[in-house]
């Protein structure tokens, strides 16, 4: 039965004490103690009301509980593109490879809703079965938020993937004959076609087995370095990439000085 996230975090004290100098690797095991959203679960279960606003990453010695799960347990869900989630989020379908030594405070779509503290930042694995070749690929999400049973589908922040060089063509084909409507991992020569659920682009994933994680190739969708969705660097890079905008602002500044 799902436990409150504070109980989950406290359950990792023993693991942190046993190995205080490293991240907690849980390859082959995933917590049965899932993250409880206490009052905001409905928000994460309703699309387009979905939103994940994460606060600053906080170092911690506490980790989520590691309790062995049945190796034959396999869940299926959608991996959805969602720009309203400022960080990729995973739930029970993912198999946690590693807990980082960080947690965040997460807020929902409405300011009236309570925030969720101590949400673990994890390295998670998902299995993607290529429908055209039958090949199974292990997709790895670094710097993802683990939300347990209360996040029924994986949420992918497109810009977090793009920051790792992943090409996201999220325009549906019926709206643009130039779009492939797919995710391309060009370095690996992998293309994942996207489907639509209403207006949401997605592809299907499942829980990988321990054997698959150990034996199949891994493809990382996000950077392993710390992800800060609130960094000003994104705004600065976008400004530098728009020479016309820079020229207009410079002209306005000059005009302002002349008027003064």
Region for residue 82 given its phi and psi (left: phi exceeds 0; alpha: psi -120 to 50; beta: otherwise): beta
pLDDT at 42: 37
- Distance, CA of 66 to CA of 149 (rounded, Å): 15
3-state secondary structure of 27: coil
- Distance, CA of 20 to CA of 110 (rounded, Å): 37
First to last CA, the chain: 68
Q: Give the position of tokens 């600065």.
A: 236
pLDDT at 89: 96
The pair phi, psi for residue 166, each rounded to 5°, is -80, 135
Beta strands in 21-109 (DSSP E): 24-25, 53-54, 58-59, 76-81, 89-90, 95-107
> Tokens representing 82?
């969602």
Whether the CB-CB separation of 86 and 157 falls below 8 Å is answered with: yes
pLDDT at 66: 40
On the 0-12 / 13-18 / 19+ scale of CB atoms within 10 A, 92 is: buried
Report the predicted TM-score, pTM, of the whole model to 2 decimal places.
Answer: 0.73
Tens-digit pLDDT profile for the chain (260 aa)? 333 444 434 444 444 445 544 455 555 443 333 333 333 333 333 333 346 667 777 887 655 444 334 456 899 999 999 998 999 999 999 999 999 989 999 887 666 677 888 999 999 999 999 999 999 999 999 999 999 988 999 999 999 999 999 999 999 999 999 999 999 999 999 999 999 999 999 999 999 999 999 999 999 999 999 999 989 998 888 888 887 766 666 656 655 555 55
pLDDT at 13: 42
> Tokens representing 57?
């990453």
pLDDT at 67: 35
pLDDT at 150: 82
Whether the CB-CB separation of 35 and 148 falls below 8 Å is answered with: yes
pLDDT at 59: 80
Beta strands in 8-156 (DSSP E): 24-25, 53-54, 58-59, 76-81, 89-90, 95-107, 116-129, 136-146, 154-156
């Amino acid at each position: 039965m799902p436990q409150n996230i504070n109980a989950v975090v406290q359950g990792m004290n023993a693991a942190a004490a046993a190995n205080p100098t490293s991240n907690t690797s849980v390859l082959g095991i995933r917590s049965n103690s899932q993250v409880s959203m206490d009052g905001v679960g409905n928000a994460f279960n309703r699309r387009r009301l979905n939103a994940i606003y994460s606060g600053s990453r906080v170092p911690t010695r506490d980790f989520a509980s590691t309790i062995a799960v049945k190796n034959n347990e396999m869940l299926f869900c959608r991996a959805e593109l969602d720009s309203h989630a400022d960080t990729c989020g995973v739930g029970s379908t993912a198999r946690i490879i590693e807990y980082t030594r960080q947690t965040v405070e997460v807020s929902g779509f409405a300011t009236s809703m309570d925030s969720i503290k101590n949400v673990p930042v994890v390295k998670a694995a998902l299995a993607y079965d290529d429908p055209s070749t039958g090949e199974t690929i292990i997709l790895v999400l670094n710097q993802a938020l683990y939300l347990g049973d209360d996040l029924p589908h994986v949420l992918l922040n497109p810009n977090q993937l793009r920051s790792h060089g992943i090409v996201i063509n999220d325009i549906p084909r019926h709206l643009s004959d130039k779009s492939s409507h797919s995710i391309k991992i060009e370095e690996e020569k992998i293309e994942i076609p996207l489907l639509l659920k209403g207006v949401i682009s997605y592809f299907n994933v499942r829980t990988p087995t321990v054997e698959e994680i150990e034996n199949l190739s891994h493809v990382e969708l996000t950077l392993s370095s710390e992800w800060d969705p609130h960094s000003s660097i994104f705004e600065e890079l976008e400004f530098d990439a728009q020479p016309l905008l820079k020229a207009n602002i410079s002209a306005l500044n000059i005009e302002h000085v002349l008027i003064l």
